[in-house]
Amino acid sequence: MKRQLVGLSLLGLGVLVLLQVLGIYDFGLAFWPVVLLFLGLTIIGKSIDGRFLGGSFSWIGLGIGLWIGGIGLFNILANAGTSNLSGSDIAGYGWPILLVALGLAILFGNRSSIAPGNWFKAGSDFDSSFDSGDWTSHSGMHRIGDLYHGRNPWVLDADHNFFHGIGDVVVDLTTAEIKPGMHNIYIKVGIGDVTIRVPGGVNLTVDGAVSVGEINVFGDERSGFGGLSLKRTIEVEAAQATVQIMARLSIGDMNVQYMPDDAGS
């Protein structure tokens, strides 16, 4: 019955979008709010059926679905003039919802569903070849909240992993002393905005991908859903260091900034 309700909700929303596209009636539906609402309903349905984070009902998935779907829904209602709350308001309220969901998952849920390895499932849009253990992690494991690596001067002398569940991530290489040699940086984020700042003076290879949202690599921009990817390479004559960056984001915006004038700042 629950699956039928989710299916009927998606069907009804699709009909409303179709009526607006055909010019029959303007419901105030915009592209991104509709996408977020569809995505939220889909996550809610999978969480109820036990297909989101393991083989049972997922409080975490339900919280994420309600948050994402709520952002889209209240954007639509605000555009239609029927609500004083907007999607940005719901985005700010989402953290308490996720904390409640996480608490319920710990108290009543399947513990395996909130284990670190189950945040990113095999067969997703991320490259499984980089989960093989060839990368040396120095950043630790982060799940919910914001992560800023490089706020203070640091040394890049080994490979780094950055795994993050929900929240904004900043990886600033312009504050790093980059040692000679090859350095691999792997960034994998579930939901949030990702900002990567890279300096000049080194050879760079950037491979970025976003499932739903926007990606900008050195000024080249893509937006939409269904999988977005950009690859860029910069070669510097007589450079002694090479940095290879692979970044993967499920939902959100990714921005890779080339800042040669700020190297070492």
Same domain, 110 and 42: yes
With a CB cutoff of 8 Å and minimum separation 6, the contacts of 62 are 44, 47, 48, 101
Same domain, 18 and 95: yes
- 4-47 pLDDT tens trace: 665 676 677 677 767 766 677 666 566 677 778 878 887 777 77
Cα separation, 71 vs 89, in Å, equals 8
Q: What is the pLDDT of residue 123?
A: 35
Structural domain ending residue among the three candidates 97, 118, 139? 118
- Please give the residue range of the domain that contains residue 208: 128-262
Q: What is the pLDDT of residue 45?
A: 73
Same domain, 88 and 173: no
Same domain, 29 and 48: yes
Same domain, 89 and 180: no
Mean pLDDT, range 91-112, rounded to an integer: 62
Q: What is the pLDDT of residue 138?
A: 43
- 35-89 pLDDT tens trace: 788 788 877 777 766 555 555 566 677 777 888 888 888 887 887 777 887 777 7
Same domain, 92 and 160: no
Percent of the chain with pLDDT over 70: 65
Q: What is the pLDDT of residue 10?
A: 64
Nearest to 149 by CA among 158, 161, 165, 157: 161
Same domain, 105 and 133: no
Does the pLDDT at position 153 exceed 80? Answer: yes
Burial of 101 (0-12, 13-18, 19+ CB in 10 A): buried
**78 within some domain:** yes
Whether the model clears a pTM of 0.75, i.e. scores above it, the answer is: no
Does the pLDDT at position 152 exceed 80? Answer: yes
Structural domain ending residue among the three candidates 83, 118, 153? 118
> Which of the four pLDDT bands, split at 50, 70 and 90, describes residue 265?
very low
Percent of the chain with pLDDT over 90: 31
